[in-house]
Amino acid sequence: MKTLPAGMQAHLDEGTTTLCWCWKITRNDGVVLGFTDHDNPLNFSGVEFEPESGFAASEIRAGSELNVDSQDAEGVLSSGRITEADIIDGRYDNAAVEVWRVNWSAPAQRVLMRRGAIGEVRRGQVAFNAEMRSLAHMLDQASGRTYQYACDAALGDARCKVALSAPEFNGAGAVTSVLRDRGFNASGLGAFAGGWFDHGVLTWTSGPNAGRQAEVTLHGKSGSAVSLSLLEAPVYAIATGHAFTIVAGCDKQHATCFQKFSNIVNFRGFPDIPGQDTVLRYARKSGLNDGQPL
C-alpha cells in the first residue's frame, strides 16, 4: 500500500482531479527522456516530460504472485526523441523506467507508482512497441555459474585473460564490395586464415556507422578474396570504402581455447561432465565391453 504525499492526498479528496501519467526513461547510455499523456510539457526532478510525442501506454498487468508485472508502451519513431537507430543500437535495452501519477496543475503533487525496465522492443516502419517489466523480472535472471560444456567467460575479460591487443587476434580493413545488407568483401585481412574471425566483433571506424559494433558470424576466404558476414545488418547501409577494425572470436569450445588461444588453463567450461545423451547409451555386442562407462 502506498502512502501518498499530503498535497496529493488532499487533491484526490477534492473529487475533481487534474491527473496525468508521466514516464521517465533512463537509457543505458545515460540519456534521460520524459513523456506525458498531458497536452502541455511538465517539469520536475530536472526532467522535461514531453507531450504530443506519440508515446502512450497500456493498462498495467499485475498480480499478487511473483509473476513479472508488465505494461506495453507504444510510440512513433521521431527524429527528435525516439529514433529507429537508437532502438537498433540497443540503447533502450533494459533501460530503467519510472511511472509517475502527477497533478499537472501542481507537479509537486505526484507519486511514483512503479519502477521497472524495458524488455522486448518490437519496431515497425514508423512506430515501436516496448514491454515495460516490473522489478520482479530480475528474479528470472540467472545468477552464479552454470555447469555446461561451453566456456562462460567473455573473450578477453578478467576470467579469460586472453590479450586481445596481440596482433594475431585483431586486424583492420575496408569494404571492397557489398554482397548483401550484412555481407561484404574486405581488404586488409589476407594474412588471416578463413574462419579466424568467426564469432568476432567488428567495429566500424568510418562512414555513418562509425563507432558501432557488430558480431561476425562468418569469415570466409577463397584464394586472396576475403568475405565477412554480420549477424545483423548495421543501422546504415554498408558501402565500399567503409573502414573497420575486427577482433578474433571464440565459439567457447574446449578445443578452440587450446588450439586457437593456447589458453586452456583459463577455460571456464566443464567439457567432461556427462550430457543428457548419457541416459540413452546402451551396451552393444560389437562394443569393447571392458567394464568402462558406456
**pLDDT score recorded for residue 167:** 93
Residue that the C-alpha cell 522489478 belongs to: 135
CA neighbours within 13 Å on the CB side: how many for 250?
A: 28
90 falls within a domain: yes
Examine the domain organization and report whether 102 and 199 are in the same domain.
Answer: no
Same domain, 132 and 47: yes
Q: Which of 124, 140, 156 is the last residue of a domain?
A: 140
201: domain range?
167-247
Q: Tell me how far CA of residue 63 lies from CA of 70, 130, 131, 136, 178, in angstroms.
A: 10, 20, 17, 11, 51
**pLDDT of res. 235:** 85
- Hey, which residues does 228 pair with through a beta bridge? 184, 219
* Residue 164: HSE in the Cβ half-sphere, 13 Å Cα cutoff: 17
Shared-domain flag, residues 94 and 174: no
pLDDT digit string (tens) for the chain, length 294 residues: 678 888 889 999 988 999 998 889 899 888 998 888 888 999 999 999 988 655 555 555 545 454 545 555 555 445 467 777 777 778 888 888 888 999 999 999 999 988 888 877 766 666 667 777 766 666 666 677 888 889 999 999 999 999 999 999 999 999 999 999 999 999 999 999 999 999 999 999 999 999 999 999 999 999 889 999 999 999 889 999 999 999 999 999 999 999 999 999 999 999 888 777 777 777 777 766 666 665
Residue 18 covered by a domain: yes
Total structural domains in the chain?
Answer: 2
The pLDDT of residue 146 is 80
The verdict on 66 and 116 lying in the same domain is: yes
In a domain, 215, yes or no: yes
Q: Are residues 134 and 34 in the same domain?
A: yes
- Distance CA(103)–CA(15), nearest Å, equals 13
Question: The domain that contains 224 carries what CATH number?
Answer: 2.40.10
Write down the pLDDT at residue 91.
83
* Residue 111 is assigned to a structural domain of this protein: yes
Residue 277 lies in a domain: no
Write the pLDDT tens digit of every residue in 72-129.
Answer: 555 544 546 777 777 777 888 888 888 899 999 999 999 998 888 887 776 666 666 7
Asked if residue 194 and residue 233 are part of one domain, the reply reads yes
